[in-house]
Chain A
Amino acid sequence: MKTLIVALGSPYGDDAIAWLCLDFLRQQSGLGLDYVLFKSKGNGLDWMQALASVDQLIFMDAVIGDKELGKIHLLRESALPTQASMFQSSSHQIPLDQSINIARNLGYLSKHARVWILSIEIKRDSRLVLNANKQKQVFSQVWSMISPLR
């Protein structure tokens, strides 16, 4: 099963955590050749370039949450907030639910492809990217969550 993992983020602060997770995954020989890894640089559409006959799409992103720094939530596509229920995070760009729909409507993404979202919790007043131990835990959790999705 071919899987595309898209890390959404930037080089800045805790927004970089999904990119760091992708760098970690890239170093894991156990990941296999069926995985395509892509760093999305934030315009909401660039990940479509990496789509080629994938059966599964996994987005990783930092989210501000109220549980625990570094806690990971595995969400199905249906759990994505829609435009009607949230303020757009960057409205010049296309919200994630819409860009997934565009990819499906244009035939870039199979109608049957599964979509997952790995949300990594960050806080406004702490720095996950500066906490090596926490990061190790996050990498380990990401690996353990992605492995069963093969």
Chain B
Amino acid sequence: MSEKTININIPVLARVEGEGALDLRIANNEIEHLRLRIFEPPRFFEKLLEAKHYSDVPDIVARICGICPVAYQMSAVSAFESLFALDPGEWVHRMRRLFYCGEWIESHALHIHLLAAPDFLGFENAADMSLHFPEQVKRGLRLQHAGNQILQFLGGRAVHPVGVKVGGFFHAPNLVQAKQLLGALQACLDDAQDLLVWLLSLDLPGEASDFTQVALKSEHSYDFIGRHLHTNLGFDCSIEDFATHFKETHETHSTALYSLLNSSDYLVGPLARLNLNHHLLPQPVKQLIQTYGFQLPNQNMFNSIIARGIELYFALAEAINILQNYEHTQYPSVNVKVKAGQAFGCSEAPRGILWHSYEIDDDGYVRHARIVPPTSQNQARMQADLQQGLTQFGLDRPENELRLHAEQIIRNYDPCISCATHFLNLNLARV
């Protein structure tokens, strides 16, 4: 048999966070070897948290990621407050919801307009896209800025915000600031609706496939923070039982851990959330989805960009709703009484569930910390999706098309490899 080996090297996988590579060997038009390698050095954040006081944790974990610091802060504070049997009150709960809306808006706006859309419109990058779709890119920047304004409102700054504490917030913004922010967000609502219409008009690739999906479970609203998880297979568990069912394993080719649910890969993130929890969306958002005919649940992973658009619209409308009823308080936080024990917290980062666990001593110091970010949870699913997606795409396609499609599949998950432990080197051997 004649043997032909072709090597493709992509020095930079643009538009994802982190460093990784893909090895692909095709023999007789079948994938013989496929391995998503993450080689970014481990960052040891969990070890850094040991011996730190619980009150320092929200500011430390916020620095794990520049895109989803709120998620890290919310998972942490909800863990401690659950252990300390502390309810910070209705004002804090509403403001945390507003804060989280800001993070979803800025993260989804960035990914849709500057990271993912160039793929579906045939551009190398957002700069090239901005020449041909200037209004869409301007819209993306406006929406991202709106999200960042919410983060500044409660967190003092958009990147690595510092306003959060266990028990609430360090300060309550005044009514003038709230009114200004409300006006800025209301001015963006048409942008969010136009975005959704535009996303639904895109010619997206992909086919429906079966995969396990996991999201937070709640009873009454489309929530950001919660105590229970559920799947599309009928399984559910409390976040305290997460480690019993979700097992992390180390693979030699990856510095990020692989997380499996009952030994199988699974999806977390916007599409999983929407598929599992769309019945909890507010009626105006449901109405909008119905008006434009988007079917839920939806099993085409490439529709994740539409799921992000829907969540962005939801988050903006929700933020406006919260701010319309904003009241200033003299007491933006409650006092904390430390209790030793095991603390568990979980919230829906823009990319999916972010689970935290802390062992706390009598004085409130962290003895042990464990953080399971969404990208490591999606890593096995990404690899399975690559296997299936590239086969469906056609393994006899030219190398540059295979490489681009592989990149699109990976970018579609909006992976944050830096959180999980940055580019893709695709090494293709075709025999």
Chain A residues close to B by CB (< 8 Å):
10, 41-43, 45-46, 48-49, 83-84, 87-88, 90-94, 98-99, 101-102, 105-107
Contact = CB atoms under 8 A, between A and B. Distances in A.
Interface string B148-170: 10000000011110000000000
16 contacts: A41-B159, A45-B144, A87-B12, A88-B14, A88-B423, A90-B17, A91-B14, A91-B15, A91-B17, A91-B422, A94-B127, A98-B126, A98-B127, A102-B126, A102-B127, A106-B130
Contacts of A91: 14-18, 422-423
B24 interface: no
B89 interface: no
Contacts of B158: 41, 43, 46
A90 B18 CA distance: 8
A85 to B, nearest CB: 9
A52 B308 CA distance: 31
B219 to A, nearest CB: 33
Nearest to A39: B157
Nearest to A43: B159
Interface stretch (B133-141, B232-240, B354-362): B133-141
B155 to A, nearest CB: 11
Contacts of A46: 145, 148, 158
B282 interface: no
Interface in B353-404: none
Given A41-B158, A91-B15, A92-B418, 20 more contacts: A41-B159, A45-B141, A46-B145, A87-B423, A88-B12, A91-B16, A91-B17, A91-B18, A92-B16, A92-B66, A92-B110, A93-B66, A94-B127, A101-B127, A102-B127, A105-B127, A105-B134, A105-B137, A106-B130, A107-B134
B273 to A, nearest CB: 20
Given A106-B134, A106-B137, A41 B14 contact: no
Given A98-B127, A105-B134, A92 B17 contact: yes
Contacts of B131: 105
A42 B65 CA distance: 12
B137 A41 contact: no
A46 B157 CA distance: 12
A98 B125 contact: yes
Classify the secondary structure of A's interface with B: loop
B67 interface: yes
Contacts of B148: 43, 46
10 interchain residue pairs of minimum CB distance: A101-B127, A92-B17, A105-B130, A98-B127, A102-B130, A41-B159, A105-B131, A42-B159, A91-B422, A92-B67
Nearest to B127: A101
B293 interface: no
A105 B131 CA distance: 5
A94 B157 contact: no
Contact of A43 (B15, B66, B137, B138): B66
Contacts of B134: 105-107
B230 to A, nearest CB: 29
Nearest to B422: A91
A48 B141 CA distance: 9
B260 interface: no
A88 B134 CA distance: 24
B14 A83 contact: yes
Nearest to A40: B159
A105 B137 CA distance: 10
